[in-house]
Amino acid sequence: MAKLSADEIRQKLKALPGWESKDNAISKMFKFKEFLHGIEFVQKVAEIAEGADHHPDITINYTRVTFSCSTHDAGGVTDKDFKLAENIEIAFKDLDE
């Protein structure tokens, strides 16, 4: 899968509010009311990632969870990372329903 250019990443990020381009990856921090809510969301994203065979880096800081998506094989951001970010967003929106 082809690594996207900085311009392509900038364009595509417009469709993903809160996501930013950082350290050769796209990332977003999600804030939860309870520590365990964040952990449950991490479990959900882990299942999505396993299903897609594409895995984000995950940082947990108490109630803040940050997902950072890059394609190791490509050495940067690819469409696979945008697909994963979209699916993380969908899963997050599902939490409210």
Select 27 or 71, whichever has its Cβ closest to ligand H2B.
Answer: 71
Sites for ligand H2B among residues 40-79 (CB under 6 A): 53-55, 70-73
* Cα–Cα distance, 83 to 64 (Å, whole number): 22
What are the tokens at 12? 């595509």
Helix (H, G, I), strand (E, B) or coil at 67: strand
Select 27 or 70, whichever has its Cβ closest to ligand H2B.
Answer: 70
What are the tokens at 18? 């809160």
Is residue 23 a contact residue for ligand H2B (CB under 6 A)?
no
H or E element at residue 42? helix 35-52
Tell the smallest beta-carbon distance from residue 36 to ligand H2B (Å): 26
Interface residues toward ligand H2B, by CB under 6 A: 53-55, 70-73
